Chains A and B, each alone.
Chain A
C-alpha cells in the first residue's frame, strides 16, 4: 500500500531564489527538460534588485521521489540560493494573473460583462465588440472564468502562471 502511495503524482509549488545572471532561467528550464520533469507553470522576475536576485516560482508534478529529486537538483545549481517547497512547508497564498480577450455582440457581450463582474475581473480594454478582462486569483478561479467565456466569444488568453508566498509573518 505504501508503495502505491509513493507512485501517486503530486502537484507541488516550488519557489527558487536565484542570482539574476545571464542564463540562470535556461539552467532551471534545461534541468527540467533534460531530466524529464514537468513544468505546469513557471514565473520569474527580479525581486531583489539590490542583491540582483530573482525568484522563480514553479508548479510541477511528480511522485514524491521525483519531487525530492527536483528540489535536490535545483539546490545544486550554482546560482541557486534557496529552494522552498511551499506545498510541504505549510499554508501559502498562490495567485495568478490572466488577460482574457472576449469578442461578441448583443446578449453574449452583456453576459460576459456580467460574469466578469461576479468574478471581479476588471475590464482593461474595450471596443464595441470586444473586452479584455484582467483577472487575478487562484488557478481554479481563472480556469472557471475562462471556461465560462468560451461560449461567449473567447479569443485569446494570456496567463502569468502562479506566484506564491507562505502565509504568516515569517519569510521564506
Chain B
C-alpha cells in the first residue's frame, strides 16, 4: 500500500479517507482541479457543493459541532481561500475542529502575483490554530494527517493546508496515518491530582456554590456532559451555562439556572454575582459573560477547568487552575468527591437555593402575551413547544433572535445547538444547518434566523435544494438589524442609523425561487398553524414569522455593567454609572 505511486491529489483524498472523512464541503476552481478530478474517479467521498466558500466553512462547522467529528473544507486559491477567512475565524473563536484544504498557484509562481494567487498562509495565520504550505508531494500525506491531529486535539480549531497545483499533480507515495506522537504539540488532557483535590475541598466547604459550564464540555464529547450532569446532581449545586455550553446540562433539571451573561437569566447572573465558590468547567470568562470585570463575582473563590492554559488567568484570576480536558477533569472530580464524602453545609445550601428561587420568581423572560403582534419570544416558545420530544438540531444566525433562541429553546443534551458565539457571524446559521443536516440526515434541523442575518448567506438555499435537505429556516422577521436597533435605542438616543432593512425580499417567493416551501405568519393566531405546517413538510421550508419590530431582548446587562445591574425590561432604568464607559464597548 505504502509503495503505490499516486498524484498529490490522490494522496490528499487517501489521507482524508484514512482520517475517516466521508463528507467534504467545497467549491472547485483552477488550483484545485486535480483534487476535483481525483474526486470524480472515486466514490468513497461525498462532496457537498456550496454556493460560497464562507458557506463551506460554516457547513463544516455545523457538521463538526453536531457530530463531534472534524469538518472538512475544500476550496481553490485566491478568492476561494480569502472567502473562508470569516468562517475560519468563527471556528477559531468557538473552538470547532475544521480542516480547510486550499488550492494554491504552482510553487514556481508563488510570490509572482499570479492569477488567483493570495498569500493564504499569511492571511490565515491569525485566524487558524495552525496552517501549512505544502511545497513537496512527499509532504502531502504527513501534513494532512498532522492537520487532523492539530485540529481535533487539545482545544480544537481550524487548520489550513495550502496545496500548490504542481504539488497536487506530482507523483509521490502515500504515507499512512502515523502512530507516533507529535514532535512538539502535545496538549495536556489529564488533570493535576493536587489541583483536583484542592478543588474538591473548596467545593465541599462552599456555602453558595455555582457551576458555570461552557463549550469545553461540549467539545470534550457527550461523556463530559454526562459527567457534568452526574457531578452537579451529586453535589446539589446550581449550574449555569454559557451560550456555547447550552445542552451540557439538561435545561429541564431543577438545578439548571439556564444561560448566564449579557442576555442570560436573572437568577443565573445574580447567583454568579453572589456565589462564594465558582466552578468553571470549560468556559473562558468571556466579556459577554463577565460584564464589568472588576465587579465580576467579587466574593468567590474560583476553580477553572480548561484545556487551554492560555484561557486560565487571562481575564479573571482564579484560585484553582486545572489544565485538562473537561471530561477527564470531571471524572477526577467525581472520584475525589466520592473519596472525600464531604459533609457539605446543607443549611447554607438551602439558604442559597432559597435566595436563587427568589430571583427565579422575578420571571425574567416574561413578555407581553396579549400583544396583537407576534412577539418574537412567543414565536420561539411555540417552535420549542411543537418540536419537543423530537430529535431537533437548532442553528442560529446572530442577533436578537439568537439570544431569544438561547433563552426560550430548552436543550436537554449536547451537540444540538449550533451558534456563532465568539465571533458573532451573521450568516452562520443557514450553512451551518446544511452541515448539521448532512451529518444527521433523518433529524429535524431548524435555522432560527433573523431576516438581516439570513440574507448574508441566502445563496446557500441553492445548496439546500440541490441535496434535497429538509432544512427549516425559521425567520424571526422584525425588519431591523434588531440588536443594532436595540443598542441604538438604549445607548444612542433612538437614532436608528442604517439599522432598518428596507426592500426586504418576499421570503415566501424567495423560498419558491429556491425550490423550497414558503410560509408566513403575521398574527399570533397564525403562528401555531405555520409552525405545524413547516414541521409537517418534508422539504426545505422558509417560514417568515413577521414579529413586533420594536421588541427588545431582555434581560440585559448593559455593556460595561456588572451582573447585579441587569435590566429586566423596558422601563427598567439602569442604575449603572458606567453608561458612558459602556458605550465604547461592543
Residues of A within 8 A of B (CB): 19, 22-23, 26-27, 30, 34, 65, 68-69, 72-73, 75-81
Query: Cβ of A78 and Cβ of B125 under 8 Å apart?
Result: no
Query: Cβ of B313 and Cβ of A68 under 8 Å apart?
Result: yes
Beyond the given A23-B131, A72-B314, please list 18 additional residue pairs across the A-B interface where CB-CB is below 8 A: A19-B183, A23-B121, A26-B122, A27-B125, A34-B126, A65-B313, A69-B313, A69-B314, A72-B310, A72-B312, A75-B310, A76-B154, A76-B309, A77-B130, A78-B130, A78-B184, A78-B185, A79-B184
Asked if B163 is at the interface (CB within 8 A of a chain A CB), the reply is: no
Closest chain-B Cβ to A157's Cβ sits at a distance in Å of 31
Q: What residue of chain B has the Cβ atom nearest to residue A81's Cβ?
A: B184
Note all chain B residues with C-beta closer than 8 A to A27.
125
Query: Cβ of A78 and Cβ of B310 under 8 Å apart?
Result: no
Asked if B334 is at the interface (CB within 8 A of a chain A CB), the reply is: no
Closest chain-B Cβ to A102's Cβ sits at a distance in Å of 39
Query: Cβ of B129 and Cβ of A78 under 8 Å apart?
Result: yes
Q: How far is the CA of A75 from the CA of B312 in the complex (A)?
A: 13
Residues of B within 8 A of A (CB): 121-122, 125-126, 129-131, 133, 150, 154-155, 183-185, 187, 308-310, 312-314, 317
9 contacts between A and B (CB under 8 A): A26-B125, A65-B313, A65-B314, A72-B309, A73-B310, A75-B309, A75-B310, A76-B310, A79-B184
Note all chain B residues with C-beta closer than 8 A to A77.
130
Closest chain-B Cβ to A72's Cβ sits at a distance in Å of 4
Query: Cβ of A69 and Cβ of B126 under 8 Å apart?
Result: no
Q: How far is the CA of A49 from the CA of B583 in the complex (A)?
A: 53
Q: How far is the CA of A116 from the CA of B133 in the complex (A)?
A: 48
Q: How far is the CA of A154 from the CA of B126 in the complex (A)?
A: 40
Note all chain A residues with C-beta closer than 8 A to B154.
76
Note all chain A residues with C-beta closer than 8 A to B131.
23
Q: Counting chain A CB atoms within 10 Å of each CB, which of B129, B130, B187 scores highest? A: B130
Q: Counting chain A CB atoms within 10 Å of each CB, which of B131, B133, B183 scores highest? A: B183
Closest chain-B Cβ to A37's Cβ sits at a distance in Å of 12
Q: How far is the CA of A79 from the CA of B130 in the complex (A)?
A: 9
Note all chain A residues with C-beta closer than 8 A to B129.
78
Q: How far is the CA of A73 from the CA of B313 in the complex (A)?
A: 12
Note all chain A residues with C-beta closer than 8 A to B125.
23, 26-27, 30
Note all chain A residues with C-beta closer than 8 A to B314.
65, 69, 72
Q: How far is the CA of A69 from the CA of B185 in the complex (A)?
A: 18
Q: What residue of chain B has the Cβ atom nearest to residue A65's Cβ?
A: B313
Q: Counting chain A CB atoms within 10 Å of each CB, which of B121, B126, B150, B312 scores highest? A: B126
Closest chain-A Cβ to B75's Cβ sits at a distance in Å of 20
Q: Which listed residue (B121, B133, B183, B308) contacts A76, Cβ 8 A? A: B308
Q: How far is the CA of A80 from the CA of B313 in the complex (A)?
A: 21
Query: Cβ of A69 and Cβ of B310 under 8 Å apart?
Result: yes
Q: What residue of chain A has the Cβ atom nearest to residue B311's Cβ?
A: A72
Note all chain A residues with C-beta closer than 8 A to B308.
72, 76
Q: How far is the CA of A30 from the CA of B127 in the complex (A)?
A: 11
Q: How far is the CA of A79 from the CA of B185 in the complex (A)?
A: 7
Q: How far is the CA of A69 from the CA of B150 in the complex (A)?
A: 21
Q: Counting chain A CB atoms within 10 Å of each CB, which of B155, B183, B310, B313 scores highest? A: B310
Q: Which listed residue (A19, A22, A26, A73) contacts B184, Cβ 8 A? A: A19
Closest chain-B Cβ to A5's Cβ sits at a distance in Å of 13
**10 smallest beta-carbon distances between A and B, as pairs:** A72-B310, A78-B130, A72-B309, A81-B184, A78-B185, A73-B310, A34-B126, A30-B126, A30-B125, A76-B310
Q: How far is the CA of A76 from the CA of B150 in the complex (A)?
A: 11
Q: How far is the CA of A99 from the CA of B130 in the complex (A)?
A: 37
Q: How far is the CA of A34 from the CA of B310 in the complex (A)?
A: 15
Q: What residue of chain A has the Cβ atom nearest to residue B294's Cβ?
A: A3
Note all chain A residues with C-beta closer than 8 A to B121.
23
Q: What residue of chain B has the Cβ atom nearest to residue A75's Cβ?
A: B309
Q: How far is the CA of A90 from the CA of B443 in the complex (A)?
A: 59
Q: How far is the CA of A26 from the CA of B313 in the complex (A)?
A: 26
Q: How far is the CA of A31 from the CA of B154 in the complex (A)?
A: 19
Q: What residue of chain A has the Cβ atom nearest to residue B146's Cβ?
A: A78
Q: How far is the CA of A68 from the CA of B321 in the complex (A)?
A: 13
Q: What residue of chain A has the Cβ atom nearest to residue B135's Cβ?
A: A22
Q: How far is the CA of A76 from the CA of B183 in the complex (A)?
A: 13
Note all chain B residues with C-beta closer than 8 A to A81.
183-184
Closest chain-B Cβ to A54's Cβ sits at a distance in Å of 12
Closest chain-B Cβ to A62's Cβ sits at a distance in Å of 13
Closest chain-A Cβ to B501's Cβ sits at a distance in Å of 33
Q: What residue of chain A has the Cβ atom nearest to residue B314's Cβ?
A: A69
Query: Cβ of B133 and Cβ of A22 under 8 Å apart?
Result: yes
Closest chain-A Cβ to B491's Cβ sits at a distance in Å of 25
Note all chain A residues with C-beta closer than 8 A to B309.
72, 75-76
Closest chain-B Cβ to A32's Cβ sits at a distance in Å of 11
Note all chain B residues with C-beta closer than 8 A to A26.
122, 125
Q: What residue of chain A has the Cβ atom nearest to residue B150's Cβ?
A: A78
Q: How far is the CA of A77 from the CA of B308 in the complex (A)?
A: 11
Note all chain B residues with C-beta closer than 8 A to A78.
129-130, 150, 184-185
Note all chain A residues with C-beta closer than 8 A to B122.
23, 26
Q: How far is the CA of A77 from the CA of B183 in the complex (A)?
A: 13
Q: What residue of chain B has the Cβ atom nearest to residue A66's Cβ?
A: B314
Note all chain B residues with C-beta closer than 8 A to A79.
184
Q: How far is the CA of A46 from the CA of B179 in the complex (A)?
A: 28
Note all chain A residues with C-beta closer than 8 A to B183.
19, 81
Q: What residue of chain B has the Cβ atom nearest to residue A17's Cβ?
A: B184
Note all chain B residues with C-beta closer than 8 A to A80.
184
Closest chain-A Cβ to B165's Cβ sits at a distance in Å of 19
Closest chain-A Cβ to B151's Cβ sits at a distance in Å of 11
Q: How far is the CA of A102 from the CA of B192 in the complex (A)?
A: 57
Q: How far is the CA of A137 from the CA of B125 in the complex (A)?
A: 36
Q: How far is the CA of A1 from the CA of B121 in the complex (A)?
A: 46
Note all chain B residues with C-beta closer than 8 A to A68.
313
Q: How far is the CA of A73 from the CA of B154 in the complex (A)?
A: 14
Q: How far is the CA of A135 from the CA of B133 in the complex (A)?
A: 40
Q: What residue of chain A has the Cβ atom nearest to residue B159's Cβ?
A: A78
Note all chain B residues with C-beta closer than 8 A to A73.
310
Closest chain-A Cβ to B285's Cβ sits at a distance in Å of 12
Closest chain-A Cβ to B127's Cβ sits at a distance in Å of 10
Q: Counting chain B CB atoms within 10 Å of each CB, which of A22, A69, A78 scores highest? A: A78
Note all chain B residues with C-beta closer than 8 A to A69.
310, 313-314
Q: How far is the CA of A21 from the CA of B133 in the complex (A)?
A: 11
Q: Counting chain B CB atoms within 10 Å of each CB, which of A27, A65, A72 scores highest? A: A72
Note all chain B residues with C-beta closer than 8 A to A30.
125-126
Note all chain A residues with C-beta closer than 8 A to B130.
77-78
Q: What residue of chain A has the Cβ atom nearest to residue B308's Cβ?
A: A76
Q: What residue of chain B has the Cβ atom nearest to residue A33's Cβ?
A: B126
Q: What residue of chain A has the Cβ atom nearest to residue B125's Cβ?
A: A30
Note all chain A residues with C-beta closer than 8 A to B150.
78
Q: How far is the CA of A22 from the CA of B125 in the complex (A)?
A: 12
Q: How far is the CA of A140 from the CA of B309 in the complex (A)?
A: 34
Q: How far is the CA of A30 from the CA of B122 in the complex (A)?
A: 10
